[in-house]
Each structure stands twice: as structure tokens, then as C-alpha cells.
Structure 1
Amino acid sequence: MNRFEGRKVLITGAGSGIGQATVLRVLEEGGHVVAADIAEAGLDKTRAQAAEAGTEARLSTVTVDISDEESVRENAGAAIGKLGGLDVLVNAAGILDSRHTETMTLDFWNRIIGVNLTGTFLMTRQALPALLATGKGVVINFSSTSASFAHPYMAAYAATKGGIQSFTHAIASEYSKRGLRAVCVAPGSISSGMTHNPGLPDDTDFDLLAKLSPALGKGFAGPETVAGAIAMLASDDGAFITGTELRIDGGTHM
């Protein structure tokens, strides 16, 4: 498939996990991609995988701290300018950490909010002029099954993901007459760096986590599972999908 031939795509969180898998999928389908991440080492690995696949000629990278307004303005803004426009923004960057809510500090709360929710806003705001100029721009945001289903010890993370869902609905409506589509993916039971080390408390009650197992297959799925869904949603195959969520969790929350 060449669903992204001639299309310009910016993907955050591109140095690992689902973001990296999405970069590789969009490149495979013919897209021109800017991979953005806060970690240069992760971007090196993404570049190496693109080189192995023979798609590195259509890949550029940029280091961005999505929680910092100036970094987004300067670095992401310059990347969009270098692309010469933008068709799709994928806000895959995020962090997951866990705490007992009664001992959660304000600094901890603000760090999760700053990256996940504020970062999604800052990147979207920066990209909107270029996306709207196309008349058919697409924003793919990352919610989580934790936004709609109880995930213990993750109150801050869940709050950001619920906020991202609502933010997505709002911009989908606000810019619908200008051709913009905005959609959330809500992954769950996906194996990635984030889920390998969720920072659970030492006294975690694992009975509370027992329900977080997929019905399909023999365990968690890989990040390429979500990347495939994003490719559909961001392409013309998803042209009539906006202002909604796609839950990708192998039936964990049926």
C-alpha cells in the first residue's frame, strides 16, 4: 500500500514504542516523515531501522520537548517548515508513572499533565495552521483504556488521557468545516517501553490489575498493532472518522 505517498507526517514519541512503529509504518506506505522525540538516542534507533528498511531517504528527525512551549515553537515549528507543510500530526509522545493517590505530590501530577495533556495541546496548536492549509488535515491523539476503565495507581495518567479524549472531540468539532479530522486511539495491553516499567508502588495489590489481560491471543500485542490502526485512521481509508476513539486492547475491556 502507498496510502501516504506524497503526504507529510509529523510523529512525536518517535524514538520508541508505538511512535517508532508508526514512523516505520508510514514510511513503508510512502510517507515523508519527521520523527520527533526528546531522546536523541531513540531517534538514532529509529533512523537505523528506517535505513535497514530502505526508507530513510524520506525520514528526518528533530529533538523536541513537547512539554516546553519554546521547544515546540522552535524545533517542531522548524521541522514543519522544512517539510513544506503538514498533512498529519500523530501525538504519540507520553509518559506513564504510577503512585498511590494519597501520596502523590503536586510535582508528580504536574509532570504527567505537562507531558501528556499540555504537550498534546502545544504540538496540536503548533501544527494547526499547516494542517488547516491542506483542507484535509488529520490529528491522531493518544488516549488510553485508562481514560474509560479503572486502572489503579494511575490517577494522574488516566486524567491526562481523559482530557486528551475531550480535547480531541473539541477540535474535531471546532475545525470540522475546515476539513480537519481529529481522532483518538486508546491502546491497552500493548507491549512497549511504557508498559514494561509503569512505576507501580512496592506494595501494589496485583489483584486489582488482574483484569488487565487481553482476551485475544496469549498476551500483550506489539506496538505495530497500534501503528497499523493509526495508518488506517490517518489515511483516506479513515476519511469519514472523526471526533471519536478507537480502542485497541485485544478485548481487555469488553
Structure 2
Amino acid sequence: MQRFTGRRVLITGAGSGIGRATTYRLLAEGAAVVAVDVNEAGLRGTAEHAADSGTVERLTTAVLDISDEQSVRTQVAAAVQALGGLDVLVNAAGILRSSHTHETGLEFWNTLVKVNLTGTFLMTREALPALLASGSGVVVNFSSTSASFAHPYMAAYAATKGGIQSFTHAIAQEYSKQGLRAVCVAPGSIDSGMTNNPGLPADADFSLLAKLAPALGAGFAGPETVAGVIAMLASEDGAFITGTEIRIDGGTHM
């Protein structure tokens, strides 16, 4: 499929996991992509794969800390200039940390909020003028199944993802008459790298986590599973989907 030929895309968190898989998928479907990540080595790996697949001529990479307001302003402006506009923003960057809530320090809380929630806000705010100018802009944000279902030891993380869902609903309505669509993906039971080391407390009660196993298949799915859904949502195939979240968890939370 070439659903993204001529479309201009900015993807955060593109140096690993779902962000990297989404970069590969949209490049394969014809997009011109600016891929950003805080991890320069990860971005090099993404670019190397694009070179091997013959899509690197449509890829630009840049190091970006999405929680830094001035850096976001600078890099989003540079991305829009490099692409000649912007059609799709994919806010895949985020961090996962766990702790007993009664032991959660303010710095721990603030770091999760700053990266996950504030970072999503900053990227979206700076990209909105270009997305609205396109007449059919799409924002794909990353929530999580933890925003709607109980994930023990992840209260701070879940709060940021719930905030992202609410933020997405609000902007979907606010800019609907200007042609913008805003949607969330809510992954769960995905082997994304981030989930391999969630930093659970040493004394975590794993019986509380037993219900988090997927119903489909033999275990967690790969990040390309989510990338495929993002490709659908951000293309014309998703043209009547906005202001909602799509749960991708293999039936974990049926």
C-alpha cells in the first residue's frame, strides 16, 4: 500500500519501539518523515534500517527532548520547513516507570508528567498551525490501557496517559471544523522495549498483575502491531475516526 505518498509526517520516539516501527511502516507506505528522539544512537539505528530498505531519502532525523519547550519550538519549525508542511504528527515518545504509590516522590511524578503529558502537549501545540494549514491534519497520541484499567504500581504513569486521552478528546472537538482529526492508540501487552523493564518494585505482588496477560496468541505482540493501526488511523482509511482511543492489547482487557 502507498497510502502516504505525498504526505508529510513527524514522529517522536522514533529511535526505538513503536515509534521506530511506525517510522518504518509509514516510510514503506510512501511518507516523507522527520523522525525525532532523545536517543541519538537509536535514531542512527532507525536511519540504517531505512537505508537498507531503500526509504532513507524520505527520512530526516533529529535529536529532541520533547519536554524542553524551546527545543520543541525549534525542531518542529525545522521539521515543517524540511517537509514543506505537515500532515501527520505521531506522539510516540514516552517513558514508563513504576513504584509503590506511597513511596512515589515528587521528582518521580514530575518526570513522568513532564515527558509523557507535557511533551505531548508541547509537540501538538507547536505542530497545530502546520497541521491546520494542511486542511486534513492528523494527530496520533499515545495513551495506554493503564489509563482505563487498573495497572498496579503504575499510578503516576496511568495518570499521564489518562491526561493524554482527555487532551486528545478536547483538541479533536476544538479543531474538528478545521479538518483536524485527533486520535489515541492505547497499547497493552506490546513488546516495545519500554515494557521489558517497567521497573516494578522488588516486592511487587505479581498476583495483581496476572490479569495483564493477552487472550490472543502466546504472549506479547511486537511494536509493528501498533504501527499498522497507526498507519490506518493516520491515512484516509481512518477518515471518520476522531476523538477516541483504539485499544491494541490482544484482548487483555476484555
Q: TM above 0.5, one fold? A: yes
Q: TM-score, normalised by structure 2?
A: 0.99
Q: Which residue of 1 aligns with 2:60?
A: 60
After superposition, what is the alpha-carbon deviation per residue over 1:215-244, rounded to whole angstroms, capped at 9, x for unaligned? 000000000000000000000000000000
SS at match of 2:123: helix
2:195 partner amino acid: T
| Shift of residue 55, structure 1, vs aligned partner | 0.6
Q: Which residue of 1 aligns with 2:109?
A: 109
Q: Which residue of 1 aligns with 2:204?
A: 204
Aligned counterparts of 2:215 and 2:130: Cα–Cα separation in 1:
41
Verify the 8 A CA contact 1:140 1:182 in the aligned structure 2.
Answer: yes
After superposition, what is the alpha-carbon deviation per residue over 1:138-174, rounded to whole angstroms, capped at 9, x for unaligned? 0000000000000000011000000000000000000
| Shift of residue 81, structure 1, vs aligned partner | 1.6
Aligned counterparts of 1:215 and 1:17: Cα–Cα separation in 2:
22
Q: Which residue of 2 aligns with 1:248?
A: 248
Aligned counterparts of 2:205 and 2:183: Cα–Cα separation in 1:
34
Runs of 4+ with >3 A deviation: none
Aligned counterparts of 2:234 and 2:187: Cα–Cα separation in 1:
16
SS at match of 1:19: helix
SS at match of 2:242: coil
Verify the 8 A CA contact 1:62 1:76 in the aligned structure 2.
Answer: no
Structure 2: runs of 5 or more not aligned = none
SS at match of 2:36: strand
2:10 partner amino acid: L
Q: Which residue of 1 aligns with 2:25?
A: 25
Verify the 8 A CA contact 1:47 1:59 in the aligned structure 2.
Answer: yes
Aligned counterparts of 2:76 and 2:198: Cα–Cα separation in 1:
28
Q: Which residue of 1 aligns with 2:38?
A: 38
Moved more, 182-191 or 77-86: 77-86
| Shift of residue 80, structure 1, vs aligned partner | 1.7
Q: Which residue of 2 aligns with 1:121?
A: 121
Aligned counterparts of 1:160 and 1:230: Cα–Cα separation in 2:
20
SS at match of 2:211: coil
Aligned counterparts of 1:252 and 1:29: Cα–Cα separation in 2:
30
Q: Which residue of 2 aligns with 1:132?
A: 132
| Shift of residue 247, structure 1, vs aligned partner | 0.1
Moved more, 68-77 or 167-176: 68-77
Structure 1: runs of 5 or more not aligned = none
C-alpha RMSD of matched pairs (Å)? 0.5
Q: Which residue of 1 aligns with 2:153?
A: 153
Q: Which residue of 1 aligns with 2:169?
A: 169
Aligned counterparts of 1:66 and 1:153: Cα–Cα separation in 2:
25
| Shift of residue 76, structure 1, vs aligned partner | 2.4
SS at match of 2:212: coil
Aligned counterparts of 2:131 and 2:219: Cα–Cα separation in 1:
37
